[in-house]
Structure 1
Amino acid sequence: MNDPTLKQIFIFLVVLLPFQLLAQIPYGNNPECGKYIQTKDAKIYYEIYGSGEPLLLIHGSLYGYINEFENIFPILTENHKVIAVALRGHGKSEIGDRDYSYALLAQDMIEVLDAENIDRIDIVGFSSGAITAVKLAADYPERVMKVVSIAGALSAKDRSAERQQQLEEMTADNFIENNKRFVASRKKLMPEPDRFVDFYNKLMKVDSDPVWISKNAASKIEAPVLVVGGDRDAYFQVEEFLEMYRIIPNSKLLILPGDDHVGASQKKEMYTDFALPFLDEN
């Protein structure tokens, strides 16, 4: 290959094509690795990537979905078999008929683990996924080894009056009107798109619960927990992350300067320098 132009094209293909293929993985809508389990009232969708020690990955609520970790999957799958679950009502998971609670979401996760014959597992969760992860550690101590809780809290009691008013004023109709493109794209994935309003109202109900995990339950958690939060989080204050750290016995605290609610889950260095070393340490 003496032609410099051909040589440049060859290098371009060899170096860049793997990254293009990586970017095209349809996380959250991947028929090659998507699975379902049937709970009492809903089919729950999940995808599996990588190999190695199992790791349960749980996304955030409403706007969140499996694909929110698309830039993080390559890091997590280097040494782990990642089970990424779609919370009920999100994306390809059905909504179900029961009222939402973190106990119910945790139960869904257990049914996925049972279907995959996984007895014990590490968990990484963001926002509602983080709350679900800590709830799993509290309710199913025999199933959880370690938890990385990113931008989650034990309760909504410290929510600012301004934020509480915003939530109360944001009805399903207002949300749909202000997020037309997002809702349209999400409905394309949903098996029950006509129930989006029902789904939204179920989420808002659980979000307004004053306590998600009691202090008493949190104080008895046996699994080591890494509590991660950004100091610019608009949903939870640093004091709430500090409270989790103080209450959960075997916990560590990581506050990310300059990061907001979503940013805390998207910083690759957080995973490579803190989360994965925490999961791997004896």
Structure 2
Amino acid sequence: MKLTALAIAAGIAATTVLSACGAGRPADTAQPGAYAEVNGLRMYYERHGAANGQPPLVLLHGALSGIGTDFGELIPDLAQTREVIAVEQQAHGRTADIDRPLRTSQMADDTVALLGQLGIDRFDILGYSMGAGVALDITLRHPELVRKQILLSGGLGAEAMHPGLLDGLAQLKPEDLHGSPFHADYLANAPRPEDFPQLVARVIEHDQNAMPSVSPEAAGAVTTPTLTIIGDSDIVRPEHSVEMFRLFGGGIMGDTPAGLPNSQLAILPGTSHISAPHRPELLLPMIPAFLDAPVKDA
């Protein structure tokens, strides 16, 4: 089935346009990036803004990507009112690969260990695509750490995506991404730029053999306030996101006491999977509103 190949090609074209317009590029850092030794990994992270009495917001990028490529348009505004901590996972961006497969649970462990080293024991989290899976894994296994979570273009498993997408992804070749912001960012920032084919292979192997799967029962047990966001033309099916919204506690609202329901859903108009983090005009009003709102008592 060629659906995925077409979707990937369209995504590459979209990111190329975004790059030409100045989108998807690293934001100016209020504080320089740094490295930490985490689980055998020399992990890169950035800290922006100041705490301002709120938990920090942790940003987790998508597959094949990095901090600037996914969040460059969001960080400057988000860091105006809170501390923002963004990390780059194994084999991505400035974090070099090591001799182990890419796994969602391991990326979650690396992220938690990094935040522990930084003395952060309570935080909000925003994960995009692969990063949404990592964010949800952290919430499921460490609910005491996560105050609120935002899942952007993520799902509960392979069933989240339109049929045929994973099959088509297996056909992706590194050269298919040459000229894209993913490739340009990697060449500019990776410790070993020649490892780009290895990154692509890591991501394909992960998606073919280790795609995380969260049961409806596990999702239904989540009490962490959750904002689920997808694009209306995302690789994630709208029907799946509606089901996530309901499993996380969303439903019809009547007259309620102060506070918002624990689960919220947003569908961005005119937005694909690739362009989802590049809609600051839509995301920047809703992200702080969700994070700043009081939580409805269970």
Match of 2:266?
A: 254
Quote the Cα distance in structure 2 between the aligned partners of 1:189 and 1:272. 27
Query: 2:96, 2:263 → 1: CA distance?
Result: 34
| Cα-to-partner distance string for 1:5-52 (whole Å, 9 max, x where unaligned) | xxxxxxxxxxxxxxxxxx9xx837969511111122211100111112
> CA contact under 8 A between 1:65 and 1:90: conserved in structure 2?
no
- AA in 1 matched with 2:166: Q
Say whether 1:89 aligns with 2:91: yes
How many residues in Structure 1 have an aligned counterpart in Structure 2?
Answer: 253
Instruction: Determine the structure 1 residue equivalent to 2:228.
Output: 227
Please state if 1:43 is matched with 2:42.
yes
Give the C-alpha shift of residue 70 in structure 1.
Answer: 1.6
Partner of 2:253: none
1:115 corresponds to which residue?
117
Q: Secondary structure at the match of 1:57?
A: strand
Shift of 1:276: 0.9
Counterpart position of 1:17: none
Pick closer, same or farther for the CA change 1:28–1:92 going to 2, 3 Å.
farther
Q: Is the 8 A contact 1:102 1:212 kept in 2?
A: no
> Percent sequence identity over matched residues?
30
- Matched-pair contact (CA < 8 Å) for 1:93–1:191: yes
Cα distance in 1 between the residues matched to 2:40 and 2:245: 35
Instruction: Return the offset for 1:166.
Output: 1.8
- Separation of aligned partners in 2, 1:104 and 1:60: 15
Cα distance in 1 between the residues matched to 2:80 and 2:143: 27
The match for 1:178 is 176
**Please, which moves more after superposition, 47-56 or 216-225?**
216-225
For structure 2, the residue ranges without an aligned partner over 5 or more in a row are: 1-21, 250-261
Cα distance change, pair 212–33 in 1 and its aligned pair in 2 (3 A): farther
Q: Quote how far apart the aligned CAs of 1:184 are.
A: 5.7
Q: Whose RCO is larger (CA < 8 A, sep 6+)?
A: 2
Please name the residue that 2:17 is paired with.
none
The answer (yes or no) to whether the contact 1:55–1:124 under 8 Å persists in 2 is yes
What displacement does 1:88 show?
A: 1.5
Corresponding letter in the other structure for 2:290: F
- Tell me what 1:129 maps to: 131
Query: By how many angstroms is 1:114 displaced?
Result: 0.8
Code of the residue aligned with 1:198 in structure 2: it is Q
Which residue of structure 1 aligns with residue 289 of structure 2?
A: 277
Shift of residue 64, structure 1, vs aligned partner = 4.3
CA distance in 2: counterparts of 1:48 and 1:41, whole angstroms: 22
Question: How do residues 1-282 of structure 1 correspond to structure 2 at under 5 angstroms?
Answer: 27=26, 33-52=32-51, 53=54, 54-170=56-172, 174-175=173-174, 177-182=175-180, 183=183, 185-208=185-208, 209-233=210-234, 235-249=235-249, 250-282=262-294
- Give the Cα–Cα distance (whole angstroms) in 1 for the partners of residues 39 and 136 of structure 2: 23
TM-score by length of 1: 0.81
Question: What per-residue deviation string (whole Å, max 9, x for no partner) do you get for residues 129-155 of structure 1?
Answer: 122111111111011000111111111
Question: Bigger CA drift: 203-212 or 45-54?
Answer: 203-212
Secondary structure in structure 2 of the residue aligned to 1:257: strand
SS in structure 1 of the partner of residue 271 of structure 2 = coil
Contact 1:28/1:67 (<8 A) preserved:
no
Match of 2:62, as an amino acid?
A: G
> Structure 1 counterpart of 2:95, which letter?
S
SS of residue paired to 2:36: strand
Residue 94 of structure 1: CA displacement? 1.9
2-structure distance, mates of 1:191, 1:151:
28
Structure 1 166/29 Cα, relative in aligned 2: closer, same or farther at 3 Å?
farther
Q: What is the TM-score normalised by the length of structure 2?
A: 0.77
Once residues 195 and 267 of structure 1 are traced to their aligned partners in structure 2, the CA distance between those partners, rounded to angstroms, is 30
State the SS of the aligned residue for 1:169. coil
CA RMSD of aligned residues (A): 2.3
Shift of 1:280: 0.5
C-alpha distance in 2 between matches for 1:29 and 1:95: 25
- The 3 A distance-change label for structure 1 pair 30 and 192 is farther
Between 1:218-227 and 1:243-252, the stretch displaced more is: 243-252
Stretch of structure 1 that moved more, 252-261 or 133-142: 252-261
Structure 1 residue runs of 5 or longer lacking an equivalent are 1-22
Shift of the 220–66 alpha-carbon distance from structure 1 to 2, 3 Å rule, reads farther
Give the distance between the partners of 1:178 and 1:74, measured in 2 at CA.
Answer: 31
Determine the structure 2 residue equivalent to 1:7: none
